Amino acid sequence: MQNSRSRAHVGWNDRIDRAIELTPARTGAGEVLMFYSRILAFQRAIHESIDGLIAVHSGDGSALRERLDLDKAAAEISALIAIVREHGPAKLAEECAQRSSSPPVAWLSDAIQWLQDGRAKQQDATIFLSRVVLEPQAEHVAGASESLPQTTAGNRCPICQSLPQLAVIRPEGDGGKRLLLCALCHSEWEFRRVLCPACGEQNHEKLPRFTAEGIPALRVEACDTCLAYLKSVDMTIDGLAVPLVDEVAAAPLDLWAAEHGYRKIVPNIMGF
């Protein structure tokens, strides 16, 4: 297994532009993308306000957590709730309103733990709010961090030990290499093409891939042994794709996977 870590330098403006660009094209995810573009703009503002966070120089999963300013992140939650109540889906808006008086710092620690151990099958409003305010900080810390020893990767992020949210196929030579993208700090690290990130299954006959008409660069990478899956974004097919955004735009693939009994390793920030 290859375990070197890399990062795709995609700015917040590029993510927002991609979400807006894909909104009219993805009829099954248009409303999700419109809301996601607002969330990205909120995260961009958080990222631009960051000052003084320290890089991680250890493979210990607690290292990144210790460098996050949870109080600062918690202070952003009330403004985020206001955005969700005005522009978000009705169910999420209602759930967020009910949580506005809860202790947010505790949410943040719980959300980090959830991303590291995957105990919860579904993302609730608390996890959503926490991820929105934590991701800009985590990405900033990871972006300033030194390269880590290859032995720290595997199926966990070498920076924060969180689970992968999606896979990315990036061009290499005449083909492509597979990387996993962290659900918290958005670091990428290399991972074998024929290997389940959840249980380690290596039999290609038990690792089916599913695509949908109209979005050839996106597919479901599933495992019939543990019934886990994640989506992959193939940059060899669509070099203009922005993995975090294109993965959200392919929400119908998640609905299909759920209907066929598969469970995502970690939902994206929109809950799919």
- What is the sign, positive or negative, of the torsion defined by CA atoms of 65, 71, 74, 75? negative
Q: Please give the backbone phi and psi of residue 74, each rounded to the nearest 5 degrees, phi first.
A: -60, -35
Give pLDDT tens digits for 8-18. Answer: 558 999 999 99
Residue 2 neighbours by CB under 8 Å, 6+ apart? 150, 190, 191, 192
Give pLDDT tens digits for 201-212. Answer: 999 999 999 998
- Regarding pTM above 0.85, the answer is yes
185's tokens: 């700090």
The yes-or-no verdict on residue 53 having pLDDT over 70 is yes
- What is the sign, positive or negative, of the torsion defined by CA atoms of 35, 36, 39, 44? negative
For residue 145, the tally of other CB atoms under 10 A from its CB is 23
Give pLDDT tens digits for 213-244. Answer: 889 999 999 999 999 999 999 999 999 999 99
Q: Which residue ranges form the domains of the chain, and what is each CATH number?
A: 11-143 (no CATH), 152-264 (3.90.1670.10)
The yes-or-no verdict on residue 187 having pLDDT over 70 is yes
The yes-or-no verdict on residue 92 having pLDDT over 90 is yes
The yes-or-no verdict on residue 150 having pLDDT over 60 is no
Distance of CA 226 to the CA centre of its chain: 21
3-state secondary structure of 233: strand
